[in-house]
Amino acid sequence: MNERNQEKRPGMNILFKTTTHVSIGDDISFLGTKKLFNRVIPGHNAFLYSRGEKDTWKPTSKIKIDLAVVAGTPIWSGSQMASLEDFIIENSIPTFYCGVGMNYGDNSKTSKALANAIGFIGRDNHAAKRAKRDFPDAVAICCPSIFAADPAPTTDSKIGIILQVDTWLEEQVRFVQRFSPSEALIICNEIVDYIWAEENLPGYEIVYSRWLFDMVGYYLRCKEIYSMRIHGAHLAYALGIPTVCLKSEKDKSVVCQKIGLELVRPDDVTPADLRHDESLRQKHYAAFLNYITLHVAKAFPGVVPVDLLEQETLHQQEIEASTAASAGADLAQPKRKGGKRRVVAKA
């Protein structure tokens, strides 16, 4: 037998939970997560759990699962993933929640599933706060969708407008009408938006595809992008295109603000609201990689590449030293006389 084959270890079996064939947003959340786990656990076998899909993992598949990864979704518990949640609970499957948000399916089984967590990264504060009740080491960073693609040169100078026709429709129409058909490119992340746009925006170029490669090409035709959809703004940001999310400030917790994007109503938005800060993406990638590396290494000794583990262990030591130094500096500051400072609300 070949000596190299003798030394080769079988890869880990990782089951990724995502949603397929619905939205580009789900695609990029999964792909961003997958890139991170490719780095931390190279050579793993990747199985997919997606409700309603035929060619995906089922609890009856008789495949040994070493790790479940719930990848960048607002549904990380409840009826829409009941068979997976039951499988995790009944078989004590180590589970990593990576960049999940909100939690529209919180139920009596959520805490039982979280008892198997080896790591939890929320894409918003709401998810991390809920998880901390059962997994105190939960953190909030951002949505991993920003790692699905890399900055690239644009190929045209269109003004990209990403629709979401189930909300604020009249304001969206007014916003589209600010631009001539020759200026704007109407990008539809979901088919319902395309159907509506074809009927209601005559003269404008309207594009849609269920394939991420095509959508990236459409986005890169734009010098700037105004997105009604959260993940439209995230993909634009990943590609290095200045963008803004056309939402109320109360929408979706702080998922967009975590990557430095503004939330502005369509009627109020101006080019001054467009943002792109690549340094934030690099900072968030480092935070994801550090957290995943150390938590996976703790749960599965010997799986993480040695050089990566050494790098991230040193990184963590530097973080802890910096935190301790900052805390010491705060303690050394003289206290104000007269107790707490009174804060006067501005009129």
Which sequence spans correspond to the domains of the chain? 9-146+282-305, 149-277
Question: Which residue reads 């951002």 in tokens?
Answer: 142
Region for 297 from its dihedrals, namely left if φ exceeds 0, alpha if ψ lies in -120 to 50, beta otherwise: alpha
Q: Which two tokens stand for residue 320?
A: 């802890």
**Count of other CB atoms within 10 angstroms of residue 157:** 10
Cβ proximity of 215 and 225 under 8 Å = no
Give the per-residue pLDDT at 152. Answer: 97
Per-position b or e across 307-334, b if 16+ CB within 10 A of its CB: eebeebeebeeeeeeeeeeeeeeeeeee
Instruction: List C-alpha distances in Å: 128 to 38, 74, 122, 221, 346.
Output: 24, 12, 5, 36, 32
The whole-model pTM stands at: 0.89
Q: 38 φ, ψ to 5°?
A: -60, -35
How many whole angstroms separate alpha carbon 80 and alpha carbon 47? 18
Each of the 347 residues of the chain gets a pLDDT tens digit; together they read 333 333 444 589 999 998 876 678 889 999 999 999 999 999 999 999 986 666 789 888 889 999 999 998 888 998 888 899 999 999 999 999 999 988 777 888 999 999 999 999 999 998 999 999 999 999 999 999 999 999 999 999 999 999 999 988 999 999 999 999 999 999 999 999 999 999 999 999 999 999 999 999 999 999 999 999 999 999 999 999 999 999 876 655 578 989 999 899 999 999 999 999 999 999 999 999 999 999 999 999 999 999 999 999 999 999 999 888 777 666 666 655 554 444 444 43
- Is domain 149-277 given the CATH code 3.40.47.10 in the classification? no
Q: Which two tokens stand for residue 200?
A: 């209601």
Sign of CA pseudo-dihedral 247, 249, 250, 255? positive
- Is domain 9-146+282-305 given the CATH code 1.10.10 in the classification? no
How many whole angstroms separate alpha carbon 240 and alpha carbon 154? 9
Interval 268-281: pLDDT, tens: 999 999 999 999 99
* Amino acid (1-letter code) at residue 182: S
What does 81-112 look like in DSSP terms, one character per residue?
Answer: GHHHHHHHHHHT--EEEEEE-S-TT--TTHHH
- Find the largest Cα–Cα distance for the chain: 80
Q: 183 φ, ψ to 5°?
A: -85, -40
Say if 9-146+282-305 and 149-277 have the same CATH topology: yes
**Side-chain half-sphere CA neighbours of 226 within 13 A:** 25
Instruction: List C-alpha distances in Å: 211 to 24, 153, 202.
Output: 8, 20, 25
